[in-house]
Amino acid sequence: MCGIVGGVTERNIVPILIEGLHRLEYRGYDSAGIAYRTEENVSLVKSLGRVHDLEKKLDKKATSNIGIAHTRWATHGIPSEKNAHPHASNKNIYVAHNGIIENHEDLKSELKSEGFKLYSQTDSEVIGHLIEFYKQRGMDFDSSVMKAISRLKGAFALAVMDKNDPETLIGVRQSSPLVVGEGFDESFLASDIMALSPVTNKFKFLEDGQVVFLSKDKVSICSKDGRAAKVPTKEVDSTAYTNDLSGYNHFMEKEIFEQPESVQSALEGRITNKGTREGIFGAGFEKKLKNIENIQIVACGTSYHAGRIFEYWSHKFLGINCRVDYGSEYQYQEPVKTKKTLLMTISQSGETADTLASLKFAKKTDDPLTLTICNVANSSLCRESEYTLLTNAGPEIGVASTKAFVTQLACLNLLLLTLMQVKGAKPGTIKNIASSLIELPDQLAKTLKMTDTYKAAAKLLFKRHSTLFLGRGLYFPIAREGALKLKEISYIHAEAYPGGELKHGPLAMIDKNMPVIALVPDNEHLDKITSNIEEVAARKGKVITIGPLKKTTLNKDGGHIKIPKTLDLLNPIICVVPLQLISYYTALLKGTDVDKPRNLAKSVTVE
C-alpha cells in the first residue's frame, strides 16, 4: 500500500527520495509524487503509473536538501495525477499521507466554507488545508500540525513540509507505520526501513500517536498532546534489505527459490532432533502455555491459510480447540469470551491493519496470552504482542507471499512441538516430528528442481478462464493457497474446495475446459479424493494431481507431480512449492506483472 519517504539532508535529497520510492514499489501502488524545496519555492511533480514515469518528468538537475515523496495505492478517488500525493495547500503546506481520514467529508465542508478549494477526490487533501488554515490564524508550523491532527479521525502516517520553514519536516504516526532514520547530519522518515536502508541503519520506531520533528541534526519526538517522548534508536542489519534480483527475473521467483534457506533460518538454533529449545518464543512462554485450553488465530490472506493448517495440527496432536478468523471478521463476529486462550496473529509484514485491529480488540475485551508469528522485527504486531516468533525469511518483496508462508508453517510447527512438549506428549512422537522438520529444507530444495514439470502444467492453465483446486484435510488450506497464488498473479479465476464439497456445487462447472488441480495425500483421505478425481474425469475435466505417491492410477491427462514424501503432517508444506511455481510460470506465459499484480498491495495498512 501507500509508501512515504522524506528527509532533511546536507547532500542532495532528490535521488535519495527517488531510490526510496523504488524501494517502496513492492508495497503496491498506482501513482507517485515528490515535493522538494528549491531556492525560493517547492517543486511538486506527480505521475500516474510507475516511479520511473515520475523520474522521466523530473528536472534532471533537481537538487534540494529537504523533501517528501509518496507512492499511492488508491482508496478514495481513482488513480490519477490529481489524486497522487503529496497534496499541496496554497503552495505552502505539502503532505504525504498513508491511511484513511474517516471524517474527511465533514472537514471538507468546513474547509470549503472557509474558502479553501479542493482539487482532488481524496480523503487526504484535507490534511494540508487544515494545517494551512491554522497557520493563517497565526500559529507556527509545529502548532498548526499538532492542532490539525487533533481534528483527524482514522488512520494516518504523515510527512509534512512547509515552504516557509525550510529546515523542518514533521512526521506523524497514528495506526499506520512510520519510522525515523538517523544519519550523520541528516534525518529521514519512511513507511518502512526498506526505503532507507541505503542511507542509514539507525532507526527509531515511532509508537502510535507520536509526532516527530526532523531537522538535519536533530530528531525530537512528542505525543499528540505535546509531551516529550523518548524513543530508543535501534541498529538494523540493512544489508538484508537489498532490492537486488541476484540473477532471477522476478522477486517472486527469487523468493520461491530461497525457501530452503529461509526455512533453515526459521529453524536455526530453535530445534534439535529431540524437540524445540526452551525460550525460543521469549522468557516464560512455555510456563504460560501450560494453562492454555483454547487457541484463537487471526490473520489475513496467505497468513490466514497458515493458520488453517495449524488448526488441523492443534486438533489432531494437541486436542486443543483452535479457531481461525480473518482479521477483517474477527471482532465483528462478536467472539465468545474464552478463558486460558492463546491469541495468535500471523503476518508477514506485521502491519496488516485488520489483524492489528483484531489484536487490539482482543486485548481490550479479553485477557489472552498473545503471540505473533511475524517476518518483520519491530513491526506493530510484534510490539503489540506479548511474545513473538520471527519467521526470519528475510524481506519479502513480491506482492504474492511465498517464502513468508512456508516459514510461517515451519514456525507454527515449532509452536506445535513446544505445545506437545509442554502438554506431555510422547517423546518418540516429538522426536519423529522434529527430525522430519529438520529435513524439510532439503526436501524443498529437491522439489524446486522439477521446473520443467511445473512449466508443462502452466501450459495447461494459461489459456483457461478458471481453475479448480481440490484438497482434503490438511491439504485443503494448501489448495486454497494454491488458488490464491494463481488468481493473484495470473488473474485466472481460481477456487479451492474440499473434495467432499465437489458434488455440492462446483461439479456443475466441470467440462473439458476446466482444469482441476487435485492434491493427493498418502493417508486416510486417499480413497475419497480418488473418487472426487474420477467424478471430475468422468465429466472430461483435465486433472493435474500433486502428492507424495509414487505411481498413481489417478494419472488423468493433466499428469501427476510427485513430491518428496515425509510425515503426513509436513507433506502439505512441500506441496506448496509446485503450486507456487505453476502459478509463477502461468503468469509468465500470460505476461502479467508478477511482482506487482494489478490492484494488489503487499502491506495492507488500512481496514
Binding site residues, ligand G6P, CB under 6 A:
300-303, 347-349, 352, 355, 399-401, 600, 602, 604
Q: Write down the least CB distance from residue 99 to ligand G6P, Å.
A: 16
- In one-letter notation, the amino acid at residue 465 is H
Min separation Cβ 147 and ligand G6P, Å: 34
Closer by beta carbon to ligand G6P, 347 or else 580: 347
Local structure of 578: helix, strand or coil: helix
Q: Which is nearer to ligand G6P, 132 or 396 (CB)?
A: 396
For the chain, the distance separating the N- and C-terminal CA atoms, rounded to the nearest angstrom, is: 12
SS (H, E, C) 4-56: EEEEECCCCCHHHHHHHHHHHHHHCCCEEEEEEECCCCEEEEEEECCHHHHHH
Distance, in Å, from the CA atom of 297 to the CA atom of 388, rounded to the nearest integer, reads 14
Q: Pick between residue 346 and residue 417 the one whose CB is nearest to ligand G6P.
A: 346
How far apart (Å, rounded) are the C-alpha atoms in residues 358 and 343? 10
Nearer to ligand G6P among residue 301 and residue 558 (C-beta): 301
Query: Is residue 602 annotated as part of the catalytic site, yes or no?
Result: yes
If one counts every other C-beta atom within 10 angstroms of the C-beta of residue 261, the result is 15
- Helix, strand counts (H, E) of the chain: 17, 27
For residue 152 the three cell numbers come to 483527524
Shortest distance (Å) from residue 240 CB to ligand G6P? 17
- Positions of E strands within 375-501: 387-390, 466-471, 493-498
Cβ distance to ligand G6P smaller for residue 303 or 418: 303
The minimum distance between CB 400 and ligand G6P, in angstroms, equals: 6
Q: How far is the CB of 547 from ligand G6P (least distance, A)?
A: 25
CA distance 122 to 280: 45
Residue nearest to ligand G6P (CB): 301
Residue type at position 386:
E
What is the pairing mode between strands 321-326 and 294-299? parallel
- Of 238, 66, 227, 55, which Cα lies nearest the Cα of 162? 66
Q: Give the nearer residue to ligand G6P in terms of CB position, either 70 or 485.
A: 485
Q: Rounded distance, CA 472 to CA 321, Å?
A: 20
Inter-residue contact 399 to 26 (CB < 8 Å): yes
Question: Are 203 and 232 contacting, i.e. CB atoms less than 8 angstroms apart?
Answer: no
Q: How far is the CB of 398 from ligand G6P (least distance, A)?
A: 8
- CA dist 130 and 110 (Å) reads 10
The count of residues in the chain is 607
Q: Which residues contact 336 (CB under 8 A, 6 or more apart)?
A: none
Q: How far is the CB of 351 from ligand G6P (least distance, A)?
A: 7
* H-run or E-run covering 271: strand 271-272
* Cα dihedral sign, 36-37-42-43: negative
Q: Which is nearer to ligand G6P, 276 or 401 (CB)?
A: 401
Sort residue 473 into left (φ over 0), alpha (ψ -120 to 50) or beta. Answer: left
Q: Closest distance between ligand G6P and the C-beta of residue 330, in Å? A: 13
Q: Using the minimum distance from each CB to ligand G6P, give the nearer residue, 323 or 487.
A: 487
**CA 31/CA 46 separation, integer angstroms:** 8
Please tell me which residue in 2, 322, 382, 575 is annotated as part of the active site. 2
Catalytic residue among 46, 135, 163, 602: 602
Cβ distance to ligand G6P smaller for residue 214 or 299: 299
Sheet-wide strand order for 341-347: 321-326, 294-299, 341-347, 369-374, 387-390
Minimal distance, residue 399 CB to ligand G6P, in Å: 5
Distances (CA, A) of 273 to 126, 391, 566: 59, 19, 15
Q: Residue 88 forms beta bridges with which residues?
A: 94
Parallel, antiparallel or unpaired: strands 87-89 and 493-498: unpaired
Compare residues 92 and 349 and give the one whose CB is closer to ligand G6P: 349
Q: Minimum Å distance from CB 447 to ligand G6P? A: 21
Residues with a catalytic annotation lie at 2, 602
